[in-house]
Structures are given as structure tokens and as C-alpha cells.
Structure 1
Amino acid sequence: MRLFARNAAADAAPPVPGSPARRWTRRLALPAAVALAASLAACGRKEAPPPAPRPVVAMPAQADASLPAWTLPGEVQARYSTPLSFRVGGKIIERQVRLGDTVAPGQIVARLDPADAAKNAAAARAALSAAQHQFDYARQQLDRDRAQARENLIAATQLEQTRNAYASALAQRDQAAQQAALAADQLKYTTLQADHAGVITAEEADTGQNVSAGTPVYQLAWSGDVDALCDVPESVLAGLAIGQRASVTLGPLPGQTFGAVLREIAPAADPQSRTYRAKLTLESPSPEVRLGMTANISFDNRSANGRATYTVPATALFHEGREPAVWIVKPEEDTLELRRVQVLRYDARTVTLSQGVAAGERVVWQGVHTVSAGEKVRPVPPLHPEDFAS
């Protein structure tokens, strides 16, 4: 009985740490625990479904058949317009033309009081006459002294003095001649003549007024080439190039359209309006075209560099740093790519792109600030495409 009791007690007692029984117990319990945990985890965890692609409004890019037309207000002006002014100062005593008169080359348009200029011219002529007399005397004296020197009748130093007097008289004669010519020109300048044929467009001095040299008396618009002038905003400037064609309509001449060619763009903007002055030459203007007429200038609807352009809503424009960019939906992957573009022109509701987009590529039209690069999307068309039209 004692032996049985001791064996039973031994079986009931826990294994001693480090004993073989203890080690076998741990070896059997560990795999069971791992299997139990794995089975519990498999029962409690389910695979999370992938996020649904975000719907974005995107449309394939289509090359513009022609750029959206823009029309700028302008006015008709002569290609060349110069002020007419006296080259000397004085008092205006006569004006022979008035505002709007047509003048011919060389026609006298105004006169100054010539009294002072005439006196200066007379004094210069008198000085020239005296210098000429001194020169003639010195020449005759030189001829006599040369003849006497050949006969050894005078000393060599006297001949040298005569030659010196002759050279001085010659220089004085030439100086007096130039002074007389200048005085004659000053007298001629008291008469104002038109240099070119044209029309008087402004009167800036009146009879009896004292004017200085260079003060404008008239404004003369030359006959010949006629220009149409307009102020171009910065948003349109990138689409213009020298030689580009345009059509011009004039308010007072309804129903008539004139061709024009862009010949000049101001290199700097006006400091007040921040616009650039553009000048276009009208081709074959009719006699009814008058200076100062109001004009509507419509530029030819073509890209300045001949490349295809793409017009997208203004809401599609994003940025990459300081450069403009748009979101492109990659084909097959339907993921987003941010791509830099070059904007040819900005309009009220659209932008025209000249680089960065190819035909058929899907461009995100809305929500460009809520997406990110590489994001999976689902392109959808706009509900009302007409809302994005220019």
C-alpha cells in the first residue's frame, strides 16, 4: 500500500524543473500553442478588399483645327508720323496750312521772322568779301616775291613771311566762306517745308508765338502705308509672331474687311496698362480708310510655330513648382502622371497648350488639387461638356 501511494503521489506531483519529463512537456505544448494561435488568427482575419479607383473627370485631348479666335480693339494710324519744326528759333509770322490739309514734298507750311537771320547772313557775306580781298592781295604779293626771289632781289626770310601771310589769308577766306554758308542756311531755316507728302494731323504752335529750335509746329502723317495699332495683353502675347496675318474691320465701314500683317511688337510692356503695343500694316486700304478710325483686329487662328495645339478647360491646369502642368491618365494602368506643359494663351474659361500633350491622351479636367501622382483612377466624362466650352 505504501508503495502504491508513493507512486501515485509521484505521478500527481509536478515535474521537477530541468527534468526530462519537464522538457518533453514543453516540446509537446509549443507546437500545439502555435497551431492553436494560427487557427484562431485564420478564423478572425479576412483579406481587406483593394480601394476602389477614384472617379475623375477626364477626356481625351483633341488637336485644335484652329486656335480659338481673339479680337482686339485698335485704331488706324499712319505708319510714319513726324513733327514739323523749325531748325532755328524765332517768332512765327505766317502759317500756310491748317489741320487736315494735304501737303506735298517741299511745300512751305510756316515762316519765322527772317530779320535777324537776314542781318547775320549779310554780315557773313561782308566778312567773306573782306577775307577774299585779303586772300587776293596775299596771293599777288606771293607771286611778286617769288619772281624777285628768283632774281635774288629779296632775302629768303622775306619770301617765307609772304608765304605765311598767304596761308593765313587762305584760311581766313575759307573760314569766312563757311560762316557765310551757315548764315545763309540759318536764313533758309526760317522757312518750314514739308519733307514728305502727307496730312497735317495736329497744330502745336500758332502765329505770333516765339518758338525755339525743334519745337513742333505741326504733326505730319505721311502718305502711303497705313497701320492698325492695338495693345496686346500678356495672355495673348505668346500666340503672336512677326509676319502673322490678321483681319481688320472698321467701325465706320461695316461689311468691309481688310487684310493686315503684324510687323512690330513692342519689346517692353507699357508701365501703366501692362500691355504690348502691336503694329499691323494694312494691305490695300481703300480711300475710305481714314486715320483715327476705330478697328477690330482678329488674328489668324494658327499657332505661331505651326505645331498642334490643344484647348482644355482652365480647371485642368495645375502646376509643378512654378511651371504649368496637367494630370494625364496613363493608358492601361489608369494611374495619374503629372506632366509639364507650355501654355500658348489664356482665355476666360480655357487654356491653349502648345507642348506637353499628345492627341488622344486623357487629361483630367476637374479636381486637379485633390489627386496625387500614381493614384489609381476611373476616368469618367463630364456630365455637361458644354459648361467647359469657351
Structure 2
Amino acid sequence: MKPVSRSCPGPASLAFSVRRVRLARMALLAVPFTLWLAGCSKPAPVAEVPREVVVLQAQERAGTQPLHLPAEVQSRYVTSLSFRVAGQLVERRVHLGDVVRKGQILARLDPADADQNAASARAELAAARQHLDAAEKQLQRDTAQAAEQLISAQQLEQSQDAHAAALSQWKAAQARAAVAGNQRDYTTLVAQHDGVISTEQANTGDVLSPGQPVYSLAWSGAVDVVTDVADRQLAGLQPGVAADVTLAALPGKTWKGRVREVSPAADPQSRTYRVKVTLEQPDASVRLGMTGEVTITPSNTTQTQVLLLPATALFHQGDKPAVWVVGADGKLVLRPVTVAAYGERSISLSQGVAASDKVVVQGVHTLTVGEKVKPVAPLHAEDFAL
């Protein structure tokens, strides 16, 4: 068997292999270095995209714009009905919304104690009457006998004193009987006026104290349309100012009226002023509790132009009203304004903005001063109709 012969590589082949190993090592060393360089390099800057904001331009209107205010029909006179004596409520004959007439019985207290007191007072009155009659007869007899000098003057004086005392006791008993009779009558609650029961404030079985309300009675007849205004809306509001009233339940009809009363002080809770409008020609279709809108034109309004914006544009700067305006450079500016009047869906500005200004009307609570924005028109313009 012949041995296998192995040939050794030549010098050229060996040099080529060495170079290839070195290149492979250098490639392996270059990978982490390349990754390190990539980690240290800064990312390419991304262009800032301006935020889109919905803007509108203010509409010019005359300064004589009337006030459009929500209102409710209420009775001009509302009284609280209560018993004048204490007792347990045993009967209620009317309920919420019932129409009542003057003199109608509305409710009753348990009359047992009042009946007993009245009976006792009548018995005392009868006894006093008997005592007075006896004193009168005795005085007549003594007077006749004194005229014939059959009795002394002292005895006559005693009869006269006894008669006077009996007369006083009878008068006192008569007064007590009258009071007891009144107390018995007070256990029945009677309507003092025609009207409608507007509230119920006690239930059958309740033990009531004198003066505790049982019902509220809204008088029939004169009604008022009641609304509330802010202090800045008071200018020009005074009794006699003309007003127009529309009611949601009676569409297509308008009633003429006049301001009858403006509250001299603000409500401690809402800080608004109550204004009452009386209708010039009310009719039976106007019912208590109906809601609607009253339009009042203040008497001292001027012809100064005002600018109208949606109420959603209003923001604040501290405790002052302000709006966001998009400047010429596309940045937001918070500009203080003077509000001439507040409407149901709009505000009237007398100072602070111009008709050419682009005012942000949506999302005003999420903006910051100097923010770069892109003004766009409303997608649904009817949502911002003034």
C-alpha cells in the first residue's frame, strides 16, 4: 500500500490567508465603533407643526342691542298658608296644582282640645251670667229698700260693688269664650283668596306649630314674568321700560309688557338682580310656571358700536375678562376686553378687539400665551351663529 502524500502551501498562498484573517478582525472591530458613533450623533430636527385653532372675526352691531333673558311666569302675589294654633294635621282637602276659591276649606287640625276649651269657656260664661243676674236682682231689691230707708247705705254699697264685680267677671268670661271659639275656628285652614296651590309643605299626621307653613297659594289674576340680570346689565333697567315676552309653550305669540320692578339688592347666593315684567294684556293661555324669553331694551342705551362674539370665546386674565387673538406672526395673544352685555349665546364687547382680529372661539382653556397656531374656520358655522 502506497503512502498518501500531502502538499504544503506555498509562500504566496500563506500570505493571502494571513491578509484575509487580518481584514476579518478589522471588520469585527469596526462594527461596535460604528454603533458607538451612531449613538452619539444627534437626531435630525423635526419641524414643529402649528396647532389648529378655530377662529372667527367679531361682528359689528349697534350699542342699542336689547337684552335677551330667560324668564318664568309667576304669580304677582304668593302667600304662605298656615294655622294660627298648634295641633296635629288630620285632613288635607287640596293638593299641589289645585285651583281654590276664597273661603274654601283647605285643611283641618284635630279639634278635640279646641272643642273642650270652647265648651269650658261657654260654661264659665253661663256661670258668670247667672252670677250677674243674681247680683242685678239683689241690687234692685236693695235699691228699693234703701229708698224706703229699710237698709243702711253701707249695705246698698255692698250690693252695688257685688254687681260691678259680677258684671266684670261676666265680661271677662265673654272674652274668654270668644277667644276659645276663635281657637276652635283656627283649627280649620281657609283660603283667603282665589288662586292655585303652588307648594305643599306639610303631610297628614304632622304635629304643627303655630305659623308653620302648610301650603303656598299663588293668587289668581295679575302675573309677572320674572328674570334675573347681572350687575353689568342693570344700566338702563328701570320701571316702565318696554319688554317683549315669548313663551316656549305658546310658539308664535308675543306679549307686550313693561318692567314693573327691579330689585334694589343682589341675591346673596347668585349675585344677580331680580327683574319683574308685567304683561299689558295677559290672557288665560298664560299659565303659572311657563318658561320663555323676555327681551328688554334698556332706556339709556347709546349708539356706540359693539362687537359680538360667541360666548365660548370668553376667557379671563386674572379676574378680568379676556379673549385669545391670533397675531400677525401666528402666535397667540391674551387680550383683555370690556364686556358691554351678556347674551344667551354671545357676548358684546365695547373695548379690546377690532373687527379684523381673529379671535379663538373653541378650546380657549387649553391655550398658552405665545403658542404658535394655525387659524382655521369652523367646520360647522351654524354652531357659532349669533
The match for 1:270 among 247, 267, 271 is: 267
Q: Which residue of 1 aligns with 2:103?
A: 106
Superposed CA deviations along residues 121-167 of structure 1, whole A, max 9, x for unmatched, are 00000000001111111111111111111111222121111111111
Distance in 2, Cα, partners of 1:218 & 1:77 = 16
For structure 2, list consecutive stretches of 5 or more residues without a partner in the other structure: 1-61, 308-337, 360-385
Superposed, 1:43-58 pairs within 5 Å as none
1:99 and 1:203 in contact (8 A); partners too: yes
Aligned pair 1:197/2:191, yes or no?
A: no
In angstroms, what is the RMSD of aligned CA positions? 2.6
TM-aligned CA distance change 1:146 to 1:386, over 3 Å: farther
Q: How many Å separate the matches in 1 of 2:230 and 2:128?
A: 66
Q: Does the Cα contact within 8 Å between 2:108 and 2:187 map onto a contact in 1? A: yes
Equivalent residues in 2 for 1:142-153, closer than 5 Å: 142-153=139-150
- Identity score, percent: 51
1:195 shift after superposition = 0.8
C-alpha distance after superposition, 1:265-294 (max 9, x if no partner): 111111222111111112322322221111
Q: 2:71 aligns to what? A: 74
Distance across 2 between alignment mates of 1:76 and 1:99:
17
**Counterpart-to-counterpart distance in 1, 2:242 and 2:305:** 25
Match of 1:289 in 2: 286
User: Could you tell me whether the CA contact under 8 Å between 2:73 and 2:289 is conserved in 1?
Assistant: yes
Residue equivalent to 2:247 = 250
TM-score by length of 2: 0.64
Q: Give the partner amino acid of 1:285.
A: P
1:123–1:269: structure 2 CA closer, same or farther, 3 Å change rule?
same
Distance 1:246 1:344 in 2: 22
- Residue 143 of structure 1 aligns with an amino acid whose one-letter code is Q
Contact 1:264 1:278 in 2 (8 A): yes
Q: Which amino acid aligns with 2:279?
A: L
Residues 289 and 123 of structure 1: CA distance in aligned 2, closer, same or farther (over 3 Å): same
| Contact 1:67-1:302 at 8 Å conserved across structures | no
**Aligned partner (choices 283, 290, 302) of residue 309 of structure 1:** 302
> Is the contact made by 1:247 and 1:300 (CA closer than 8 Å) also made in structure 2?
no
Match of 2:378 in 1: none
* Counterpart in the other structure of 2:181: 184
Q: Structure 1: which 5+ runs fail to align?
A: 1-63, 315-342, 352-364, 368-381
* CA–CA separation in structure 2 for the residues paired with 1:345 and 1:170: 77
CA 1:232–1:146 in structure 2 vs 1: closer, same or farther (change >3 Å)? Answer: same
CA shift in 2, pair 1:121/1:96, >3 Å: same
**Hey, what does 1:230 align to over in structure 2?**
227
- Checking the alignment, whether the CA contact within 8 Å between 1:76 and 1:291 is kept in structure 2 is yes
Partner residue in 2 for 1:126: 123
The answer to whether the 8 A contact 1:238-1:345 is kept is no
Task: Give the ranges of 4+ consecutive aligned residues of structure 1 lying more than 4 Å apart after TM superposition.
Answer: 343-347, 382-387
Give me the whole-angstrom Cα distance separating, in 1, the residues matched to 2:287 and 2:281: 13
* Matching residue of 2:132: 135
Where does residue 157 of structure 2 map in the other structure?
A: 160
One-letter code aligned to 1:145? D
User: Aligned letter for 1:309?
Assistant: T
Q: Deviations over 1:77-97 (max 9, x none)?
A: 111111211111111111111
Asked if structure 1 preserves the Cα contact closer than 8 Å seen for 2:237 and 2:298, the reply is no
- Say which SS state the counterpart of residue 304 (structure 2) adopts: strand
Contact kept? 1:149, 1:159, Cα under 8 Å: yes
Distance 2:340 2:159 in 1: 83
Q: Quick check: 1:175 aligned with 2:168?
A: no
1:207 and 2:204 correspond: yes
- Paired with 1:245 and 1:164, the residues of 2 have a C-alpha distance of 73
- For residue 60 of structure 1, what is the aligned residue in structure 2? none
- TM-superposition CA deviations, 1:231-280 (whole Å, max 9, x none): 12111112111121211111122111111221111111112221111111
* Distance (whole Å) between structure 2 residues aligned to residue 243 and residue 286 of structure 1: 21
Could you tell me how far apart the structure 2 residues matched to 1:383 and 1:279 are?
36
> Which residue of structure 2 aligns with residue 299 of structure 1?
296
Size of the alignment, in residue pairs? 265
Aligned partner letter, 2:304: T
Does the CA contact (< 8 Å) of 2:90 and 2:109 recur in 1? Answer: yes
Amino acid at match of 2:85: V
> How far apart in 2 are the matches of 1:136 and 1:182?
23
**How big is the shift at 1:67?**
1.9
